[in-house]
Structure 1
Amino acid sequence: MTTLAPNPHSPYADADPTKRHIFAAFAFFGDPTPGGLVPTACERLAVVPEEPLTGTSPDAELPDGLCPLCVAVMQGGDEPRHPVTDCRECEAVTDHDGLCALCRQEKHDAWWPTRGETAVAVEGSAP
């Protein structure tokens, strides 16, 4: 069985960094741009990898390494619930660990082109 690598790293991603995540937006908006920070089926944000997932038909055997929460949601389960707080940047209500999705995406977009130059730590983000 195939084992998938986790999504690429971003200090602004809040999805589990040890898993490959499913992007539910594919069904509505087409394939997101590799390197973008995009919402996942498990209601978190992860970086879109260069290599897309394949073999995801309903009867296909799922590869190891997929986020079990993403899989459960895509199979009709409920979205996970996350604690809600105010964004420390714009004060919008967010369930993304104190930094809302829009602020995370904005910071990620600025960081991504320079990602090899410096290390950045974001409070409340997965390592």
Structure 2
Amino acid sequence: MIEIEIQNETTQTQERLRFAVVPRIGEGIRLRDPAGFWASYDVLDLWYQKAEFGDVWVPYLHVRKTVGEVEQPEPGTAGGLSHGLPSALPNTIPSHLPQGAPSLATVHGEVVPFAT
């Protein structure tokens, strides 16, 4: 395991996490935000600094929340959205699909294909 210092531009925080491999610049990683929700972050920069002890180089990542990632509403407020989708979408067949074609429904904001 590789311990990496994460510098988060979105939340202006620093934390150390363990990874099996060092992510590359341009890759995306999933991190928990301060509210406890998982979100996608883009790796903006990667560099190494010599540790205070021994002859060890520590990797550092500079990350920012991925563009388009939905912000979660603050606890105790009426958000009305779940993962960026309305909380209840009708289970209808779009006009461009033939009659009898399977449609998409949502359950708690998640798309369920081929709902009957």
Normalised by the length of structure 1, the TM-score is 0.27
Determine which structure has the larger strand proportion and give its number: 2
Normalised by the length of structure 2, the TM-score is 0.28
Determine which structure has the larger helix proportion and give its number: 1
Q: Which has the higher contact order (CA 8 A, sep 6+)?
A: 1
Greater gyration radius: 2
